[in-house]
Amino acid sequence: MTFNLKAILAAVLLSAVPIALAQDVATDVKTGAKDTSKATKKVATKTAHGTEKAADKTGTATEKVGKKTASGVKKGAKTTGHEMKKAGEKTENAVK
């Protein structure tokens, strides 16, 4: 059996090409995944910061509205109580 050295060498080289290409693709995928994770982390951080700012502003606005509403309710209750008292006195006077 004579082995053709050229044929064996050609077969070895041809089988090495797909392996080298597969390793190159794996490296590209790994690099892409790292880039994507960095970008995702950056966006998530900015989103969280923006959400926190919006929540603070909403809380402040809600507090202001709550104080104004409470003040209005208190004034309304006083006015209603005063009017009820007047009506009660008029009713008493009318009954007498």
- Report the distance separating Cα 25 and Cα 52, nearest Å: 40
Instruction: Quote the CA–CA distance of 11 and 84 in Å, as a whole number.
Output: 106
Domain ranges of the chain: 21-96
Q: Phi and psi of 3, rounded to 5°?
A: -95, 135
What is the C-alpha to C-alpha distance for residues 7 and 2, in angstroms, rounded to an integer?
11
Q: What is the pLDDT of residue 39?
A: 87
pLDDT in tens, 30-83: 888 888 888 888 888 888 888 888 888 888 888 888 888 888 888 777 777 767
Output 36 or 14, whichever has higher pLDDT.
Answer: 36
- Highest mean pLDDT: which of 15-24, 39-48, 51-60, 87-96? 39-48
